Amino acid sequence: DVTVALVQDGDGAEHEHTSNADLVARCSRNVGVQADVTLAKYLADHISDEASLPDAIILPGGLEGSRAMSKAPAVGELLRHYQNSAKIVAAICAAPTVFAAQGNLFAGRRLTSYPAFKDTLNGAGYAWQEPEQSANGRVVRDGNLITSMGPATSFDFALTVGAALTGQETAEKVASAMLYKWPH
């Protein structure tokens, strides 16, 4: 079983989260999603140590949603639990800025984001990269940290997360069933 926390805090998250959640769910029929619960309540009820963390946390893109997550103490608390964990942390578009806003979490790591945030992230101590068109598309992976640039890269992002959670072969089968050539 795979448990994924898809963080949505505020109304500003763009529709990138829909494709990400759908593709990750397709990679594993046993993905647990808990809807309609606040992050603060989830943390209080479920998170006591690394073993109790979901297998992945996904921060969806979108400027307003990322601004809201940047100001949410519960998001910072959850990310701090993941900082020294091997479990997957994934962010797309503007969402990597949440790491910097929540105390430069994951500083020094390689990542990418929507290009407008390159200088902000480099200035905060991250190694921002323009992802090369690689086998997994325009995605930067540094250990357990998976980041991508924006809406046009969301399929590659979600399939990379799915592969990290359920295996490359499963993600390739999902891509094939969607008539999407992945890896490229």
| CA dihedral (100, 104, 108, 110) positive or negative | negative
Q: What amino acid positions are annotated as catalytic residues?
A: 93
Distance, in Å, from the CA atom of 18 to the CA atom of 29, rounded to the nearest integer, reads 17
- Cβ 131 vs Cβ 140: under 8 Å: yes
Return d(Cα 103, Cα 108) in angstroms, integer: 13
Integer Cα distance of 131 and 114 in angstroms? 11
C-alpha torsion sign, points 177, 173, 58, 122: negative
Cα separation values, 128 from 38, 43, 100, 117, 118, Å: 31, 30, 12, 9, 6
Spatial distance between the Cα atoms of 168 and 27, rounded to a whole number of angstroms: 10
